[in-house]
Amino acid sequence: MKWLFNRSSQTQSGTESQLSKENFPSHVAIIMDGNGRWARRRGLPRIAGHHAGMSTVRDIIRASDEIGLQYLTLYAFSTENWKRPRAEVEYLMRLPEEFFRSEIDELVQRGVCVRFIGDTSRLPEYTQETVRRTLERTGNNQGMTVSFALNYGGRADVIGAIQAFARQVENNETTWDDLSEDVFGNYLSTYGIPDPDLIIRTSGEQRLSNFLIWQAAYAELWFTEALWPDFKRAELESALMDYQKRKRRFGGLK
Ligand code: FPP
């Protein structure tokens, strides 16, 4: 955070950013929705929307890094997305390979630490290979953490955490009495990452769709009609400025 306003006081268009140092979110999570509609409106196949969405992923990572976010989490493929037509699923599974092939050097240069949340063991071997290579190159980086949710479901995350904890109880490594909300967080796929302060969803839909359901308990929510391929840095900054005006009480009265 120390370099936050050295690097971020100007937007790409050269105008002063309205973002204040106060109430700066540490973790922003995004439900990237609307790729299919973006393509359909242009008479293109749905996969063209996913491809355009990939460029937005690159732009929003850049913008987030320049703005000074510490954690960015992107919902790229849910446990429910397997229900889509096979060709679309296959295309989505190839995107990480294409994305990291072209972006990995810049991510490394920015010091971005990439993480993957979700059950990556169920992804095709070529996607898993991309996951492994990306973790090798970026896993120890000390800059912004960008988590890609791939084959991620919030409920599956919670069940996985319960199973992992129960296994440790069986092995006498812990006891049920030691279980608290904080301890439970260490068994989720987001361990070590603070809960999201702000969750953004594009395309006008207003639901969480099984994204970070435990971690979202006190997240602020922000919705925009913009379809994901049209989501630009200015839109991200609007979300952050709106967040900065909100009073978070966490159930208290402050
Ligand atoms: C939802 O839009 C979007 C997805 C299921 C895929 C999101 C993937 C990307 C943005 C690209 C990912 C990039 C990397 C690097 C992994 P939708 O298809 O449901 O849109 P619709 O509601 O308009 O049909």
Average pLDDT over residues 69-74: 98
pTM of the predicted model as reported, rounded to 2 decimal places: 0.93
Residue 181's SS3 state is helix
Test site for ligand 1: of 31, 32, 42, 200, most ligand atoms within 8 A of the Cβ: 32
Instruction: Give the chain's domains with CATH numbers.
Output: 27-244 (3.40.1180.10)
Residue-wise pLDDT tens digits, 83-140: 999 999 999 999 999 999 999 999 999 999 999 999 999 999 999 999 999 999 999 9
Distance 242 CA to ligand 1 centre (A): 25
Q: Is 81 in the pocket of ligand 1 (CB under 6 A)?
A: yes
Which residue has the CA at smallest separation from atom 5 of ligand 1?
Answer: 77
Phi-psi region of 186 (alpha: psi -120 to 50; beta: other; left: phi over 0): alpha
Task: Report pLDDT digits (tens) over 148-198.
Answer: 999 999 999 999 999 999 999 999 999 999 999 999 999 999 999 999 999
Tokens of 69: 């976010």
What's the pLDDT score for residue 1?
A: 37
The 10 Å Cβ neighbour count of residue 248 is 14
Tokens at residue 82, please? 């397997």
Which of 42, 47, 50, 91 best tests ligand 1's pocket when mutated (most atoms within 8 Å of CB)? 50
pLDDT (tens digit, 9 = 90+) per residue, 23-39? Answer: 899 999 999 999 999 99
Does ligand 1 come within 6 angstroms of the Cβ of 31? no
The CB-based long-range contact list for 96-99 (8 Å cut-off, 24+ gap) reads 96/127, 96/130, 96/131, 96/134, 96/148, 96/150, 97/126, 97/127, 97/129, 97/130, 98/54, 99/54, 99/57, 99/58
Q: Does ligand 1 lie within 6 Å of residue 96's CB atom?
A: yes
Q: Tell me if 130 CB under 6 Å of ligand 1.
A: no
Looking at ligand 1, which atom is closest to the CA of residue 56? 10
Diameter over CA atoms, the chain: 59
Quote the CA–CA distance of 60 and 78 in Å, as a whole number: 20
